[in-house]
Amino acid sequence: LPLDNDINQNFQDAIDVIQQHSNYFYDDSDYMYYETLGTQQPSLQCQMSCCLVTHSSDVPTFKDMSQTWPQVMPDISLGHSLQSESPHVYSVSPARKNSRGRKKLRLYEYLHEALNDPNMGDTIQWTDSGNGTFHFISKNKERLAKCWGQRKGNRKTMTYQKMARALRNYSRTGEIMKVRRKLTYQFNPDILNKLAPAQVCQHEFHAQAQPQPQQPQQNFSEQSYSESSAADWSSWYGHYQVQEEYHLNAGFTSHSLA
């Protein structure tokens, strides 16, 4: 709705102003975001719902995902930090714990969160949660981008184009790769494994402590999970080699033509 957009824009402007004048109290944009949610209209409350989602197998299944993962990267940033810090990322109000000395929410973390958020099901969906492939819904992908931008507290409205640019940076660093299918990407299985245990929402208001997420709980869903990522693991070499070949050829061609 055009009206909605106007309101959103006005609200965004208001947030800008507030942010400019409230740095004394909030040094964290996430904090701002959650603090102001209460006054927002429902359409702006992008990330309010809890992610209490079981790992159901999902909608369309493509069996041609033979080209899977290019390498699990040596992974400097995620090695240990994510394991100990990921749960708060999934809580409804990460801001309270997120204000100082915490890592900022990464795009791939947000996407994973959205994938497990029923309210975002019309914007992004698992293609195959087992191997970590997911796709954006063309009609609503801009909404997801907008939510991401708001979550980060960006000045301007996030668009799919800009978000996809950031996603393409992941091809270099290895967190997420593009697969050939339209609007479809794939998590690095290693990262997927680190994100998966945090799927159960860690709520502050639910004192029911989860059994240590780090501790591998051997239920079968988890078992099949690691099995499938192991499969991805072993198959990436093919993909990687294809890519290498492609790059080599490209380089070779341009050199020989030059």
Partner DNA sequence: GTAAAAGGGATGTCTA
Partner DNA sequence: ATAGACATCCCTTTTA
- Tell me which residues touch DNA (CB under 7 A): 28-29, 77, 100-104, 106-108, 138, 148-149, 152, 154-158, 161-166, 168-169, 171, 173, 175, 178, 181-184
- List all residues 6 or more positions away from 104 whose beta carbon is below 8 Å from its beta carbon: 30, 152
- Compare residues 29 and 93 and give the one whose CB is closer to DNA: 29
Please, what is the minimum distance in Å from the beta carbon of residue 174 to DNA? 10
Nearest-angstrom CA–CA distance, 194 and 80: 10
Please, what is the minimum distance in Å from the beta carbon of residue 46 to DNA? 14
- List all residues 6 or more positions away from 32 whose beta carbon is below 8 Å from its beta carbon: 15, 18, 19, 22, 26, 153
- Compare residues 140 and 210 and give the one whose CB is closer to DNA: 140
- List all residues 6 or more positions away from 170 whose beta carbon is below 8 Å from its beta carbon: 107, 108, 176, 177
CB atoms within 10 A of CB 149: 19
Please, what is the minimum distance in Å from the beta carbon of residue 54 to DNA? 27
* Bridge partners (DSSP) listed for residue 128: 133
- Compare residues 29 and 131 and give the one whose CB is closer to DNA: 29
Please, what is the minimum distance in Å from the beta carbon of residue 161 to DNA? 6
- Compare residues 37 and 166 and give the one whose CB is closer to DNA: 166
- Compare residues 237 and 246 and give the one whose CB is closer to DNA: 246
Where helices occur in the chain by DSSP H, the ranges are 2-21, 29-37, 81-90, 95-98, 107-115, 141-152, 160-173, 189-195, 220-257
Residues in the chain: 258
Please, what is the minimum distance in Å from the beta carbon of residue 243 to DNA? 10
Nearest-angstrom CA–CA distance, 69 and 242: 11
Nearest-angstrom CA–CA distance, 51 and 202: 9
- Compare residues 26 and 233 and give the one whose CB is closer to DNA: 26
Please, what is the minimum distance in Å from the beta carbon of residue 133 to DNA? 12
